[in-house]
Amino acid sequence: MVGNGSGKLLIDGKNFNINKTKITLRAHDTIRIKEGSYQGITIQNIQLPKDSTVIITNNGLVQLIGTGLNDGGSGENHQIKLVNLANVKVLGNGNKKYSHGFLLRDNRYRAIQLEGIFSNFELSYFDFKDLGDNVIGYDPENVIYNGSNGTFSENMTFTHLHADNIVELIDFRGWINKDNDQAIRGLIKHIEVAYIQVTNSPNCGTVIHLHNAQDFDIHHVVLENINTARTDHVGIFTINGPGKIHHNLINSGWGNAVRAWPSTLGNSPKELLIYNNIVVNSLKYSAFEVQPTKEALLSGQTTFTNVKIYNNTCGTLSTKGLVVGKILDAFDLFGGRYEVFNNLAFNFPFGGKDIKGPFVSYLGVDEHLVKLSNNLYFDTATQAGIIDQKEFKLANSSPAKNAGKTYTSLTDDYYGISRGNKPSIGAVQ
């Protein structure tokens, strides 16, 4: 047990002690933080070898409550700082009484700050409320990738997070060829963000922003009533790199569900896969936008990414935006190709009757580079055979039922139900 329930707590792998006795952290050690309200917690310099993990968890409810957002206080921030961690898990499920045993709220500045290099790191079961800046921030843009360890972070996991009235949940900075410097900065290889819920955040902006990630996996994120006070062009998931975005619900918000600038590290193109998502009731913009930049394609270092968008259910898009809302706004992939199939769409006020159809806006990409198949559009959800607009399940009589084409990664639907050899069109089987 560490901490006394108040003040500032330091857990330092280079100088870790309990009751003035120095302890060397080893595989499978568990550090429990005493319940209470802390002014700050710093966890740093824990570097264990692969397959050896230290768990840092809560004994009761661990709170960090700032004084800046709601109570007219001095604006003091009570923050968790994480620095140079390898094979470490910070988990808020140490006491069955609390589903999210770490609570951070009422900060004007970010709640969790990451610094240094991370590998095999996990942060899970946290609750965030009333935060006025990026909730989890990481800015390694001065770390230049050269292929060797220490020049990138890898295997990072963020799961089971709940947030209410926040600004940007995750903002991990990084750049490719910033200011034409031919460098790859702040690279993260393999990052998972999953089982997230964000509600009632009118100025959230981007919820998950990965500026330079390879092989990301974003899934089972539920976002409702966000960005309702925004007027700018927002990407709710804004991503640079190849990876997967699937099994997510974005309901009632402003902005593209996904804005992607995909470029692949190395010379062999990878894929951006967007599937099994439900995107409904947007105020402005299409469901997905893919717009890589030519500047991010560096000879011998990076190449293009192919894009597949399939088995999504998208409806009532861009209702107040006075711009065409479709499944995809497609830009040039600079060598790559799109496949758009098995998507179910309904009620696109400005895009449903477009002369080129309701599925793709061709924005600087040749139409022959976009392959469309087995997509269905209807004026209403009822015509699509959607039983209700809460679960978006299909009636047996729906034209989309069992009408899609099979695909190797299409094993289940939004609810985890097996697709079998007759997948339905849309996110729900």
Q: What are the extents of the domains in the chain?
A: 209-429
pLDDT value for 353: 86
- pLDDT, tens digit (0-9, with 9 covering 90-100), for 76-104: 689 999 999 999 999 999 999 999 999 99
Distance of CA 105 to the CA centre of its chain: 21
- Name, in order, each residue with C-beta under 8 angstroms of 252's C-beta and a sequence gap of 6 or more: 224, 225, 226, 228, 280, 281, 282
* Strand-pair partners of 27: none
Q: How far is CA 203 from CA 166, 198, 275, in A?
A: 7, 12, 26
Q: Which amino acid is at 271?
A: E
| Length, in residues, of the chain | 429
Q: What's the mean pLDDT in 254-270?
A: 96
Q: What is the pTM of this model?
A: 0.96
pLDDT of 203 > 60? The answer is yes
Q: What is the pLDDT of residue 21?
A: 80
pLDDT, tens only, 45-57:
999 998 899 999 9
Mean pLDDT of the region 45-71: 89
| pLDDT of the residue at 103 | 98
pLDDT, mean over the chain: 94
pLDDT at 70: 54
Q: pLDDT at position 69, please?
A: 57
Specify the pLDDT at position 323. Answer: 84
Q: Is the pLDDT of residue 71 over 70?
A: no
351 — pLDDT class (breaks 50, 70, 90): confident
- Residues forming beta bridges with residue 164, ordered by sequence position: 129, 199
Mean of pLDDT values over 248-271: 95
pLDDT at residue 311 in the model: 98
Reported as a single tens digit per residue, the pLDDT across 384-402 is 999 999 999 999 999 999 9
Lowest-confidence segment of 64-68, 299-303, 347-351, 395-399 by average pLDDT:
64-68
At 298-329, the pLDDT tens digits run 999 999 999 999 999 999 998 886 788 999 99
SS3 312: coil
Whether the pLDDT of residue 379 is over 70: the answer is: yes
Q: Which residue has the tokens 């990138």?
A: 152
Cross-strand pairs, 18: 21
How far apart CA 140 and CA 278 sit, in angstroms, is: 33
pLDDT at 74 over 70: no
pLDDT given for residue 46 in this prediction: 97
- What are the tokens at 150? 């220490």
> What confidence score (pLDDT) does residue 228 get?
87
pLDDT of res. 319: 87
Residue 75 is predicted with a pLDDT of: 57
How much is the pLDDT for 271?
98
Q: Give 155's contacts (C-beta < 8 A, 6+ positions apart).
A: 119, 120, 121, 189, 190, 191
**Cβ contact 326:353 at 8 Å:** no
pLDDT band at 148 (very low <50, low <70, confident <90, very high): very high
Residue 28 CB neighbours (<10 A): 9
Provide the pLDDT for residue 68.
Answer: 66
Share above pLDDT 90 across residues of the chain, in percent, rounded to a whole number: 85
